[in-house]
A and B are shown apart, each in its own frame.
Chain A
Amino acid sequence: MSEQKKTFVVTRFDPDRDPAPRQQTYEVPVQPDWKVLDALNYIKDEIDGTLSHRWSCRMAVCGSCGMMVNGKPSLTCKDSLADYGSRVEVAPLSNFPIVRDLVVELEGFLEKLKAVKPFILKEKERALAEGTHRQSPEQLEEFRQFSYCINCMLCYAACPVVANEPEFLGPAAIALGHRYNMDSRDEGQHERNEIFRGEGTVFSCSYANECSEVCPKHVDPAAAINQAKFNAVIDWLAGFVTSRGGK
């Protein structure tokens, strides 16, 4: 078993003691098959129990362990330490307020998710007697990719617009809203398109494509957002042609 030491420069922040985030260095003996998360857990278990970081599934499905590793958004349970050199910088996700150490404030993100009404909207509730919805594989294919989001928020850390425009809905929220807009069972497109043209406007997206570059589940939020722009324009144009009874 070969043992190698890597230097970890980790952001620390104790809201009760530190005026601002600072960095702390740890020497960690790493195994060749480790992910970044393994090293962080080693630090917490063996070196410094005060380190706080989020993690859960260890297999890239829960979305808890997103952090900046050497300046790039990363799912720390997925990224191999072997891909990094002898010095690894671990910081909390960019663009998020920092609660403590590597833990960021989630609430802003959850509010944006809720804002797009991420559920099937029907004009009239479907009666039980009508049975289940029927959806063909072709219909499923139109939104399936966008349903794979694990809410890891790497896209928010990568997006230059999220960094600069607090109101912007952001990649995951828009992709999720678009997922429902493209779901054949949904009838809430107009409602969501109005939200997409509102304060958090999808048109703030400048198609940097960074979100899709960093997404660990290949959701391609950039595709969703730009499809959503198109749909929002069609909805806007249709609003001039049809009457919506006060909407």
Chain B
Amino acid sequence: MARPVHPHAMAASRPGRTRTAPPQAASGWYAQPRMLRYLLFDATGILYLIAGFGVLRALWALGSGEEAWQAFLDRLHSPLYLAFHALALVCVVFVAVRFFRLFPKAQPAHIGPAKPPPQPVILAGLYAAWIGVTLVVSLILAGWIF
């Protein structure tokens, strides 16, 4: 990775009295497991963009009539689509687990008079909501309810 640190990182607005060496990064900073997980987390953005446009494509097909929709359904069987969706599932689980871990402590102590619930309650609530929403969405899509 070229130029891992910006040459003006943490620079003072006026030069000091002596010459300084430019800021450095610890070698292999990107290889440390925790940093790799963070970079992966950012990289999931690519997959979310693809997923969003994928849903758009499905939506457009649905609005274009039965033939277009059936063509879309048929495409889902291809190995490429299956692989993408398997990766996407891993991806959203990874994002959810990381985000849920970080979300509770990011709630301010109060907004006006309102206070958030205790952090463990928020965490449990997030997982409950995720599982609940996934169940409802899955059951509806699979035709097992409604």
Contact = CB atoms under 8 A, between A and B. Distances in A.
Contact present between A and B (CB < 8 A): yes
Interface of A: 13, 15-16, 20-21, 68, 71-72, 91-92, 94-100, 104-105, 107-109, 111, 141-143, 156, 160, 162-166, 170, 182, 206-210, 213, 220, 222-223, 226-227, 229-231, 234
Interface in B99-133: 102, 105-111
Nearest to B24: A94
Contact of A97 (B11, B27, B106, B108): B11
Nearest to B109: A142
A1 B135 CA distance: 64
Given A142-B110, A165-B6, A15 B23 contact: no
A15 B18 CA distance: 7
B9 interface: yes
Interface of B: 4-6, 8-14, 16, 18-29, 32, 34-35, 38, 42, 102, 105-111
A234 B51 CA distance: 30
Contacts of B110: 142
Contacts of B35: 160, 208, 210
A100 B21 CA distance: 8
A21 B38 contact: no
**Which of B4, B9, B25, B107 is packed against the most chain A CB atoms within 10 Å?**
B9
